[in-house]
């Protein structure tokens, strides 16, 4: 009987805990924050206040303001009535001016929790890979203009010629502080307002959100990439065929040297190629200065993107073309010469048609390599929007800026191009193989 009572008590306890869990979950999710499309305003249904004008300052400044040293500081706007949250590794200190207590009194636990929910939601929405406020961070709220926190003496609402700042100095008057260690991770600033005064524009969803995203995309990297690759592939095609034909007509020992020179960009890291090109064509070199003197500077210009893509993708065209030429029957070429054909006629009327399938495949591969060029282009041409920013460079800098959606978009574009290139090569190879089999039959 005793065992039965223990089992019954345990079951009752489990039922009680099971009934309590939804209440706990409800308490955690009690504040459903509705964030605006621009992540600059938010509302909580039934709250006594809403927030507007949110901004996230990732870095402050240690410069003097108005001739006075206020330490490491953040600009908080043109009004003293701004709520500020300084985010440290040890926690968050949140300042609410006393003038706003009619809407948000930080001595009230409900107001504190609502304000915390606002900051957490807006900070997460504005986070671009730099790190949002941790959900379990310790919070301290104050309405006093001065506070001590994380080893700093902090002053809120500093008026400097009509602009307001939050400044902080090391506790104890430490000279020459290391702000890389002492400063906050970032600061959040917002305005507390009556819910009726804050309009929330909801973000689009579904297809509307997708089309809105496409409408906001800067397509200049696509046009720069296509223009660069289109010009580069013409140069690669001509230079690759010429180099392959040239190396076949020189002595064997010289062939080895030139073959190494023409092939080396294939094995070098693209950044090394870009650095070498920069050393060769830079402003301090005779070649680079000559181009500047004639009004055609190369470095950090659109032609530099073409040069970088050409150098990196050229070996693919050269190696494939030379391999195709070497596989031709030399007796057939000798027979053509016996019939009086010139070298130019043999090249254009015999060698090119017989190796065209390999040359076409090499051209497509070189096109794909030029399309994806990043390292050498960044070294030689830089990152100038609408001028030298190609798709690979756009992917890197959009990701570094926290614009992951844009980086994913351009990644998908590159994947589509790459898929099309590989599919073309496969179909072309199957077609030429089929024709060869018919010819053998």
Q: How far is CA 75 from CA 92, 123, 340, in A?
A: 18, 17, 83
Q: Which CATH architecture has domain 215-440?
A: Orthogonal Bundle (1.10)
**For every one of its 441 residues, what pLDDT tens digit does the chain have, with 9 covering 90 and above?**
444 444 444 444 444 434 333 333 333 346 789 888 888 899 998 899 999 999 999 899 988 888 888 999 999 998 889 999 999 988 999 999 999 999 999 899 999 999 999 999 999 988 877 788 988 899 999 999 999 998 999 999 999 988 999 999 998 777 788 888 889 999 999 999 999 888 877 666 677 777 777 777 889 999 999 999 999 999 999 999 999 999 988 888 898 899 999 999 999 999 999 999 988 888 888 888 888 888 778 888 899 999 999 999 999 999 999 999 989 888 888 898 898 898 889 899 989 888 888 898 899 889 989 998 999 999 999 999 889 999 999 999 988 887 888 999 999 999 998 888 888 877 876 766 555 555 555
- If you ran DSSP here, which 8-state letter would residue 98 be given? G
Pairing of strands 92-95, 139-142: parallel
* Helix (H/G/I), strand (E/B), else coil: 137: coil
* Helix (H/G/I), strand (E/B), else coil: 56: strand
60 and 73 in contact (C-beta within 8 Å)? yes
Residues counted in the chain: 441
What are the residues facing 88 on neighbouring strands? none
Gap between the Cα atoms of 299 and 283, Å rounded? 7
Q: What is the mean pLDDT of the chain?
A: 85
Q: At what angle do helices 302-326 and 356-371 cross, to 10 degrees?
A: 150
pLDDT tens, 24-78? 333 334 678 988 888 889 999 889 999 999 999 989 998 888 888 899 999 999 8
Torsion from C-alpha of 282, 285, 287, 289, nearest 10 degrees: 80
DSSP calls for 377-407: HHHHH---TTTT--HHHHHHHHHHTT-HHHH
CATH code 1.10.3720.10 region(s) in the chain: 215-440
To the question of pTM greater than 0.75 for the whole model, the response is no
* Residue 107, CA atoms < 13 Å, CB-side half-sphere: 7
């Amino acid at each position: 009987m005793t065992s039965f009572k223990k089992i019954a008590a345990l079951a009752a306890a489990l039922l009680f805990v099971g009934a309590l869990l939804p209440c706990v979950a409800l308490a955690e999710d009690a504040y459903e924050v509705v964030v605006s499309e621009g992540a600059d305003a938010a509302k909580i249904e039934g709250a006594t206040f809403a927030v507007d004008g949110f901004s996230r300052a990732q870095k402050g400044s240690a410069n003097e303001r108005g001739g006075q040293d206020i330490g490491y500081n953040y600009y908080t706007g043109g009004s003293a009535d701004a709520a500020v949250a300084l985010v440290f590794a040890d926690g968050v200190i949140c300042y609410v001016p006393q003038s706003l207590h009619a809407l948000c009194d930080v001595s009230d636990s409900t107001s504190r929790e609502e304000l915390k929910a606002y900051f957490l939601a807006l900070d997460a929405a504005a986070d671009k890979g730099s790190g949002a406020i941790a959900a379990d961070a310790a919070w301290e709220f104050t309405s006093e203009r001065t506070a001590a926190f994380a080893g700093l003496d902090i002053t809120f609402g500093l008026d400097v010629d009509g602009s307001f700042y939050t400044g902080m100095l090391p506790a104890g008057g430490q000279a020459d502080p290391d702000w890389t260690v002492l400063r906050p991770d970032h600061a959040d600033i917002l305005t507390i307002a009556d819910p009726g005064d804050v309009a929330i524009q909801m973000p689009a969803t579904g297809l509307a959100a997708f089309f809105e995203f496409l409408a906001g995309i800067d397509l200049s990297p696509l046009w720069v990439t296509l223009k660069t690759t289109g010009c580069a592939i013409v140069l690669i095609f001509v230079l690759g065929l010429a180099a392959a034909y040239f190396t076949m007509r020189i002595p064997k020992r010289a062939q080895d040297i030139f073959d190494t020179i023409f092939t080396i960009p294939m094995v070098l890291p693209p950044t090394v190629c870009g650095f070498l090109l920069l050393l060769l064509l830079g402003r301090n070199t005779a070649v680079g200065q000559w181009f500047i003197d004639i009004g055609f500077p190369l470095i950090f210009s659109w032609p530099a993107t073409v040069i970088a893509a050409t150098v990196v993708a050229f070996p693919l065209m050269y190696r494939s073309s030379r391999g195709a030429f070497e596989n031709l029957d030399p007796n057939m070429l000798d027979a053509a010469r016996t019939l009086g054909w010139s070298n130019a006629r043999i090249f254009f009327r015999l060698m090119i048609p017989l190796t065209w399938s390999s040359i076409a495949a090499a051209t497509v591969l070189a096109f794909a390599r030029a399309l994806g060029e990043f390292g050498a282009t960044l070294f030689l041409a830089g990152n100038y929007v609408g001028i030298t920013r190609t798709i690979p460079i756009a992917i890197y800098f959009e990701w570094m800026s926290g614009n992951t959606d844009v980086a994913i978009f351009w990644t998908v574009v590159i994947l589509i191009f790459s898929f099309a290139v590989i599919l073309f090569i496969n179909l072309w190879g199957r077609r030429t193989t089929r024709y060869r089999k018919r010819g053998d039959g």
